[in-house]
Chain A
Amino acid sequence: MHAYANPARFLKLARPLTPVCVGVGLLLVLLGSYVGLFLTPPDYLQGDTVRIMYIHVPAAWLGMGGWTGIAIASIVQLVWRHPLAGVAGRAIAAPGALFTAICLITGSIWGRPTWGTWWEWDGRMTSMLVLLFLYFAYMALANASDERTTVSRATAIFGIVGAINIPIINRSVVWWNSLHQGPSITLRGSSISSEILWPLLPTVIGFSLLFGGIVLMRMRANLADAKVEARMRRMAAS
């Protein structure tokens, strides 16, 4: 990990990786969406609305995965003072918030024809909405400082404390009565028919690569801005 503590070494890896993540990610998302929309059969209970799953599930996982990434980056920043940890935390926040919002919106759109309501204040939906507000608060805290290559100590602590919400989201359908169905995909397998389930794999990998591509682009932008600021400061001082 410390091998990439040097931003120059990180950029050497990030530059060729960015177009690969975006290109392959887009291809996989398009492939999975096409198969999910036009080739898989409708569900015997949900009908065609099951096709929303191919975007809703990756968005939910990436919303939660994004905050897990922020929490890990915050720990790495506070404990090891890794110079790229703050840059990574900052860069994850925007795509994390995007995919959390997509999860909430697509879930709401799916809920109307399936449950007969756009929204229900149950454990899963409420904890997911809390996650979106946590992202907004993290971005506000991170942007309160002009420093582009790190986040403040308070922001990093907020990133760690906010991670309490992740297991709550995950277990909410087990702990409380909910309109939302229980876990359909676990480490022990899935209750979804394999002919409906398989296009989820390319969309999950594809959206994850797009998420990674966005994070890399935002990290590169922050590092470049910091380099310009540092040079301008040196030029002004001399």
Chain B
Amino acid sequence: MNHWAFIIAAYGLTALGTAGVLLWSYLDMRRAEKAVTDLETRK
């Protein structure tokens, strides 16, 4: 049995999941902090 297919699948899914949650959290943070800045400049 070729072990590398299993290793690539494990690392690939880990990279996808981690990158996905990192990006989601980053975009959510940027959206929220931009809303604060917009509100502060509006007044």
Contact = CB atoms under 8 A, between A and B. Distances in A.
Contact of A224 (B3, B13, B26, B35): B35
Nearest to B1: A113
Contacts of B3: 47-49, 113
A106 B21 contact: no
A217 B1 contact: no
A231 B13 CA distance: 41
Interface of A is mostly: helix
Name the prevailing secondary structure of the B interface residues: helix
Interface in B1-19: 1, 3-4, 6-7, 9-11, 13-14, 17-18
A106 B35 contact: no
A56 B7 CA distance: 11
Range for the number of chain A residues in contact with chain B: 35 or more
B10 A218 contact: no
Contacts, number: 86
A156 interface: no
A27 interface: no
Interface string A74-108: 00000000000000000000110010011001100
A108 to B, nearest CB: 9
B36 A224 contact: yes
A235 to B, nearest CB: 9
Contact of B28 (A37, A49, A106, A218): A218
Contact of A52 (B1, B7, B21, B29): B7
Interface in A98-156: 98, 101-102, 105-106, 109-110, 112-113
